[in-house]
Amino acid sequence: MAEPLKIVEGRALSAQQKKDLLNRLARVEGQLRGIQKLVALADAPSDCDAVAQQMAAARKALDRSFVQLLTASIVTHTGNAADVDEAKQSAAHLAALFDKFA
């Protein structure tokens, strides 16, 4: 189970959280390689179902990684704000990130 998000020396991710995120991304990479093999071997229409299912699973895993990273960024930016105005600026920046990448 992933540890709770916290600010560590001004960084968004603790060493363990960074390790967890890198492991998650490595699993996504493995899923994508598996999908490539499925596509290379696909002959029947039913193979498309398997490929689609694996693609959806990889996309979901990558989305979860994205949320984990942005959540850590929220904790860092809002936790380091010196005043309300700075917190508002940080919130606006993070909202723009969500809008741009979500």
Question: In the prediction, which pLDDT does 16 show?
Answer: 83
**Is 80 among the domain residues?**
yes
**Is 6 among the domain residues?**
no
Contact 14, 3 (CB under 8 A): yes
Q: What is the pLDDT of residues 37-53, one digit of tens each?
A: 989 887 877 788 889 99
**Is 48 among the domain residues?**
yes
Sign of the CA dihedral with 32 first, then 35, 37, and 39 last:
negative
Of the candidates 67, 81, 70, 80, the one whose C-alpha atom is nearest the C-alpha of residue 7 is 80
Whether this prediction's pTM lies above 0.85 is answered by no
- The vertex-60 CA angle with 59 and 64, nearest 5°, equals 115
Based on the structure, what is the number of domains in the chain?
A: 1
Q: What is the pLDDT of residues 65-75, one digit of tens each?
A: 988 888 887 77
Domain carrying residue 58:
15-101
Which CATH number covers residue 82?
1.20.58.1000
**Is 8 among the domain residues?**
no
Question: In the prediction, which pLDDT does 56 show?
Answer: 97
Question: In the prediction, which pLDDT does 29 show?
Answer: 97
What is the rounded CA–CA span in Å between residue 95 and residue 9? 24
* Tokens describing residue 63: 């989305």
